[in-house]
A and B are shown apart, each in its own frame.
Chain A
Amino acid sequence: MSDQQGPPEEPTPEEAGSPPGASGSPPQQPEAVEGAVVVSEQERARAEIEAAKQRDADATGVSLEATFSQRLVAALTGTSVVVTVLAFVSALVIGAFIIALSEDAVRETLSYFFARPTDAVRASLDAVGSAYLALLQGSLGGVPQLSETLVSSTPLILTGLAVAVPLRAGLFNIGAEGQFVAGGMVAGLVGFTLTGVPMLVHLPLALLAGIAAGAAYGWVPGVLKARTGAHEVISTIMLNNIGLLVSGYLISTTLFRRPDRADPISRSVEESARFPRLLWWEPSLRVNASLLVALALAVAIFWMVERSTRGFELNAVGLNPRAATAAGMSPGNTVILAMTTGGAMAGAAGAAVILGLQYRLTIGFSAGLGFDGITVALLGRGRIGGTVAAGILIGALKAGGRNMQAQTGTSLELALVIQALIIVFIAAPGLVRAIFRIKADDLPTAQVSKGWGG
């Protein structure tokens, strides 16, 4: 019976509500058939509706009569959000242990731990407290820190979308890194090859070229998947390597390399192709117009995934490809569309970094931002708004991490460890539930978890 959709048993809430065996014993009518027909059709219909309501509420954590504020509370405290937040908290806790153990002062107190354990505890709390305080101050402590947080967030929002859109179609795009490189390379090329063009033309052109390159680089694994069944995880991992290595080679050729330099570093993007900084009265702050581009693209992606007919197909294919096929949709085309759109977002991220921040291409300029997109999308649960929020959160972690290293000497790598731990906890929601003893009643996470197994 478990091979059918829906819950295993037809629930009987009205029976659940009544005290079991209220009449002493259940009605037994041996050899009797007459008089057993008692349930009217209206009662039956009402029971079926009640049952469906119950199951729907169980699945979404909110009853259908709920008011707006009840829904808001449910959305913020729904177990999947709670699990996400707790995954973040758990990662911070484990990170705290790592900070404590890596601190020299703490290790010294450990040598006489059994004599005076309070020393060790105090030293640990000191180390962890100052590190996390530095993390917080470095990300939110003032306008310059906020600027850095937003600068770090911009590419993360975009690479997060690059992973989230395919995720909704049931695909796991590991290739944002390669698509990021493709976008950055082509945007940079357009940015420094064209000269004497007004910014109004040059900047959009370079940006669009980057988006197109990323899209093309995402289209490839999409087509391979749709036409030959090649698993997108394998092909995107390989395309990442190809992209990174080819870009390294290209940067050292005369096409890209600065004429006056021997080491692999490209010419600089023309002023007319650089994203203008947003805080013009404070030109040292690096937050720039690429942030607005990222947010505008997020809005467009939201429309596409949640409101458009293409998005309807995308979600249907992600949730049940067989039913989508039976309804006349084309899973193949949807796969290609999802991967191409994802690639375009990663390409935009590459363009944003090169045209907004670095202005020149160096080997390894992607710096793992594409892979960070996986964290961002998973933290955002594959939802568009969630992905934007997660991008800002991880951006803050990155910006704060730099401050933490500068102030307390705790390595920047800790921020990466925390990120990795977040993924582990999100990938294993059962683990978080077990730690915090949360009832497992959310779980319509089919789309988010489907891409893994293939």
Chain B
Amino acid sequence: MRLELQGITKRFPGVVANDHVDLVVEPGEVHGLLGENGAGKSTLMNILYGLYGADEGEIIVDGQRLELEDPGDAIDAGIGMVHQHFMLVPVFTVAENIVLGVEHTARLGKLDRGRASAEVAELAERSGLPVDPDALVEDLPVGIQQRVEILKALYRDARLLILDEPTAVLTPQEADDLFEAIRAFTAEGRSVIFISHKLREHRAIADRISVLRRGRIVGTADPRTTSEQELANLMVGRPVELSVQRPPAAPGPAVLQIEGLRVEDAVGTAVVDEVDLTINAGEIVAVAGVEGNGQSPLVRAVTGLQEISAGTVTIAGRPVVGATRKQVLRDGTGHVPEDRGSDGLVADFSVAENLVLNLWDAAPFARRGTLQFGAINAHARTLVEAYDIRTPSVETTAGSLSGGNQQKLVVAREFDRPIDLLVASQPTRGVDVGSIEYIHTQLVAKRDEGTAVLLVSSELDEVLALADRVAVMFHGRLVGPFDTPIAKEDVGRMMAGADPDEVLGSSPGGQP
């Protein structure tokens, strides 16, 4: 399919999300769409998929002008989309999910499950995306669920597939499998629009890359002749520092000590099991792993948000078990939660109020039960200055700030007090490149102050850039930590569950 977007413009109140975007996707091409959060990638794709109407501009498919009222029209035109968050019914089988909406029925509307299953099996075989058509979707790992999403689009005979951040939930190996499938797909003359903010992946899979910045296409690049650095500069609009300046660590005494930790979920299944980990003052230990392997409950247990089933956790000698979350925080633990929107801040509170969210009843911000707005606002003005939080005033609601500045707000609050341990979960998720640089620098600075840092990230590049030691979490268990530098492929294989002894062979990183 040859797709042409001409002058697509979409305005939201006070915002031009897409400003005269021109884009051509040739048949058989993988077209990378690169841009920071908020650059307008998702809006553009939602227009192409019929979810939004464009204010101006035309969509032309194989020379024909296309009118899209809703996603049904887009599907009819041969456009398929795999969303970042899957649109699957967990309690249905793979085949049921794939045929949902276009199912074959026998007499009296009886579902023809046998035919669906056979068709799906055949389709999966043909497109090189093996799945069991009769498995329940909820039982499948994320990588396979994504395959189901792709098959869903193929079943509707998609000739152009939009993949929105498809690798965010995959191990590096699963991502490679996905890339294979994409190549097989385009070999038949079909096209793919590949959306990602990871430069490396664009260089690996895309035939051409269009860069979106603030709603405009600012350039089209050839991945074979363009370096990652050049792409990053283009995406951000200024020279970007991709690597982190990190002097060698000078570890001190142990701060965080986890022994035999076990955490169970609501039905008693262990989501964290037999985890031992020690983090010393002045070092960054990263926990890598695909999301959903127990990192979140581990962090919650360490920071006093979740009950521990077995084992001990101590921070600078103080046991976490039996302490309230408030005590854990006040005793000297900072926590940057993985989901700032739901856990990190109150969007309708002002910037100033959010900056004292965890110290609201401590002097000097409160006196005899009364909030001291003078002290709160002065504190906020200091932090806004020191942490470069871009806000019109400290009374602005936190929800009005951009994602990167919301994250800087959380970072400022958690970093700017004397702490022994800093727990940072996905600290740069959904954050623009400029803010990522800044947050990384601050993390290293905090380490050099002598704070023990536990970094949990599913971004392998981030882990390898920052960590002094790396541990890998898989199915609730932790392997490592291993000293850095460590080969990225080795960490990737352990993220997929490979035995560390085999991965590292006879020369393991070794545990101190």
Contact = CB atoms under 8 A, between A and B. Distances in A.
Interface of A: 1, 3-13, 15-16, 20-21, 25-33, 36-41, 44-45, 48-56, 58-60, 64, 303, 307-313, 315-316, 319-320, 322-330, 441, 444, 446
B371 interface: yes
B22 A52 contact: no
A60 B347 CA distance: 13
Contact of A3 (B85, B218, B406): B85
B341 interface: yes
25 contacts: A5-B340, A5-B342, A6-B341, A6-B400, A6-B402, A7-B400, A8-B17, A8-B38, A9-B43, A12-B16, A20-B19, A27-B218, A31-B220, A33-B219, A39-B238, A52-B396, A53-B392, A303-B370, A308-B370, A320-B345, A320-B347, A323-B342, A327-B329, A328-B324, A329-B360
B15 A29 contact: no
Given A12-B16, A37-B239, A324-B346, A5 B357 contact: no
Given A6-B402, A37-B234, A308-B371, A15 B342 contact: no
B16 to A, nearest CB: 5
B218 A9 contact: no
Contact of B349 (A58, A310, A315): A315
Contacts of A26: 19-22, 216-217
A439 to B, nearest CB: 8
B367 to A, nearest CB: 9
Q: A27, A48, A303: which has the most chain B beta carbons within 10 Å?
A: A48
A36 B397 contact: no
Contacts of B370: 303, 307-309
Contact of B342 (A12, A53, A322): A322
Given A326-B337, A328-B330, A33 B369 contact: no
A444 B430 CA distance: 23
Nearest to B401: A52
Contact of B221 (A33, A45, A312, A330): A33
Interface string B194-227: 0000000000000000000011111111100110
Given A31-B222, A312-B353, A45 B390 contact: yes
Given A49-B391, A309-B369, A328 B220 contact: no
Contacts of A38: 237
B349 A319 contact: yes
A318 B52 CA distance: 33
Interface of B: 7, 9, 11-17, 19-22, 36-40, 42-43, 56, 84-85, 214-222, 225-226, 230-231, 233-234, 237-239, 305, 324-326, 328-330, 335, 337, 340-349, 353, 357-358, 360-361, 366, 369-371, 388, 390-393, 395-397, 399-403, 405-406, 430, 434
Contact of A33 (B230, B343, B347, B403): B230
Contact of A54 (B14, B345, B347, B369): B14
A55 B396 CA distance: 9
Contact of A48 (B328, B335, B405): B405
B349 A4 contact: no
A21 B20 contact: yes
Contacts of A32: 219
Contacts of B43: 8-9
Contact of A320 (B38, B342, B360, B395): B342
A55 B400 contact: yes
Nearest to A14: B214
A59 B39 contact: no
Given A3-B85, A10-B38, A29 B218 contact: yes
B325 A308 contact: no
A421 B211 CA distance: 53
Contacts of A303: 370
Contact of A15 (B215, B326, B371, B399): B215
A20 B360 contact: no
A44 B397 contact: no
Q: B225, B348, B393: which has the most chain A beta carbons within 10 Å?
A: B348
Which 5 A-B pairs have CB atoms at the shortest separation, nearest pair first? Answer: A10-B38, A328-B326, A11-B15, A5-B341, A39-B237
Given A32-B219, A52-B391, A52-B396, A446 B348 contact: yes
Contact of A16 (B14, B353, B406): B14
